[in-house]
């Protein structure tokens, strides 16, 4: 069986990407501070944070483009600089600046193919993979933003990498482009590969990520699975009743323990439904005046987290 391992990497490492204590200061700006996070093999992990929160700097340190003041990082078990054949290990998409405006899409790809030692035919394959076959002979300067993004993605795919690192890849894409990229990335990881994707909007990446790493002002404020994040902030049944404490006690006795007492006297209950709560209330002589289901807007939770208002990010803000 052919090896799927990129040369010079350690695919048995626990995570596809790991950073430990990464820090970077630009003059008076502390861009990244003691940042440690991990990206499991086969995951799509979102690196999320508002503008200027240090996402690009963190990715650039990971890829050996910026030297950290402190800390270490590894891709497939090795520091980026120690990977023997980096283009086969990791493909990166950090903006569209590497495109020469007068060079056609296919000649751009052939230049990069030659630089990393893959056959010219690979250029045609990756153009097809990103849906740019008909654009092969157009100059990069004449391409739309969405097409340029696809071309940069095609460049990242030339080495058939195990890991993709994408900085704000949805920026400027139209809805069709967003849907296409989401589908592409889901397919990429279905083949067991890994994606780290940065964004300042949770809703942009929420449908596809299975793990999130949230940074604010260069500092980690949360990391964990989307499953855990959704469960923590799942929809709640908000109940107005005659005796909130008695209702909470009765619910707990029935195994419903995710119950919060709100400032307005109502009780917010997760993991149950109106019928069950009504039955438990009635059997413990509590009168229910009204009940309504409240959906959680995860984007609002994320914004609160990154503006320091999150009441409940977890015990240390970190869930492994
Ligand atoms: N080369 C540099 N020289 C000086 N300051 C820099 C440099 N690169 C980044 N910074 C600063 O570091 C901070 C973090 O920037 P960074 O680009 O990493 O954030 P970001 O989260 O990627 O932001 P955005 O979402 O706007 O792209 C910002 O204050 C930025 O101005």
pLDDT digits 0-9 by tens, 179-223:
999 999 999 998 889 999 999 988 899 999 999 999 999 999 999
55 CB under 6 A from ligand 1?
A: yes
Angle between helices 145-157 and 121-129 (to 10 degrees): 130
DSSP string of 16-73, one letter each residue: EEEEEEEEEEETTEEEEEEEEEEEETT-EEEEE--TTSSHHHHHHHHTTSS--SEEEE
Phi, psi values for residue 289, rounded to 5°: -90, -30
Task: Give, using CA atoms, the residue closest to atom 17 of ligand 1.
Answer: 56
52 CB under 6 A from ligand 1?
A: yes
* 265 DSSP assignment: S
Q: How much helix, strand and coil, in percent to the nearest 5, is found in the chain?
A: 35, 30, 40
49 CB under 6 A from ligand 1?
A: yes
23 CB under 6 A from ligand 1?
A: no
pTM of the complete model? 0.82
216 CB under 6 A from ligand 1?
A: no
ipTM, two decimals: 0.97
Per-residue exposure over 160-175, b if at least 16 CB sit within 10 Å of its own CB, e if not:
ebbbbbbbbbbeebee
CB 21 within 8 A of CB 70: yes
Ligand 1 centroid – CA 215 distance (Å): 13
Q: Which of 47, 18, 95 is nearest to 218 (CA)?
A: 47
Query: How far apart are alpha carbons 49 and 54 in whole angstroms?
Result: 8
Please report, in angstroms and rounded to a whole number, the separation of the first and last CA atoms in the chain. Answer: 34
- Among 23, 30, 31, residue to substitute to test ligand 1 (most atoms within 8 Å of Cβ): 31
Domains along the chain with CATH numbers: 15-225 (3.40.50.300), 236-294 (3.30.70)
- Write out the chain's pLDDT in tens, 320 residues: 444 455 555 545 679 999 999 999 999 999 999 999 999 999 999 999 999 999 999 999 999 999 999 999 999 999 999 999 899 999 998 876 677 888 999 999 999 999 999 998 999 999 999 999 998 889 988 988 888 889 999 999 999 999 999 999 998 788 988 999 999 999 999 888 999 999 998 889 999 999 999 999 999 999 999 998 888 887 889 999 999 999 999 999 999 998 999 999 999 998 888 999 999 999 999 999 999 988 778 888 888 888 865 444 443 344 43
């Amino acid at each position: 069986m052919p090896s799927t391992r990129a040369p010079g990497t350690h695919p048995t490492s626990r995570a596809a990407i790991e950073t430990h204590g990464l820090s970077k200061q630009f003059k008076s700006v502390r861009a990244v501070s003691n940042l440690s996070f991990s990206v499991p093999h086969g995951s799509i992990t979102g690196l999320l944070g508002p503008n200027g929160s240090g996402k690009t700097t963190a990715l650039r340190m990971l890829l050996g483009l910026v030297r950290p003041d402190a800390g270490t990082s590894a891709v497939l078990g090795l520091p980026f600089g120690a990977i023997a054949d980096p283009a086969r290990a990791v493909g990166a998409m950090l903006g569209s600046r590497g495109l020469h405006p007068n060079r056609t899409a296919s000649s751009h790809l052939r230049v990069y193919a030659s630089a990393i030692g893959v056959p010219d035919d690979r250029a045609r394959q990756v153009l097809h993979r990103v849906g740019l076959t008909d654009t092969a002979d157009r100059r990069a300067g004449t391409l739309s933003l969405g097409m340029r993004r696809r071309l940069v993605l095609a460049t990242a795919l030339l080495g058939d990498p195990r890991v993709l690192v994408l900085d704000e890849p949805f920026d400027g894409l139209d809805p069709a482009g967003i849907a296409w990229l989401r589908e592409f990335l889901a397919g990429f990881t279905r083949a067991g590969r890994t994606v780290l994707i940065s964004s300042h909007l949770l809703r942009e990446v929420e449908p596809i990520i299975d793990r999130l790493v949230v940074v604010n002002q260069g500092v980690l404020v949360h990391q964990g699975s989307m499953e855990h994040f959704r469960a923590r902030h799942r929809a709640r049944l908000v109940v107005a009743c005659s005796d909130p404490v008695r209702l909470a006690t009765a619910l707990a006795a029935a195994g419903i323990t995710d119950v919060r007492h709100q400032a307005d006297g109502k009780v917010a209950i997760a993991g149950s439904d109106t019928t069950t709560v009504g039955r438990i209330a009635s059997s413990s002589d509590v009168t229910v005046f009204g009940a309504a289901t409240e959906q959680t807007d995860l984007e609002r939770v994320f914004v609160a987290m990154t503006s320091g208002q999150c009441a409940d990010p977890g015990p240390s803000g970190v869930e492994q």
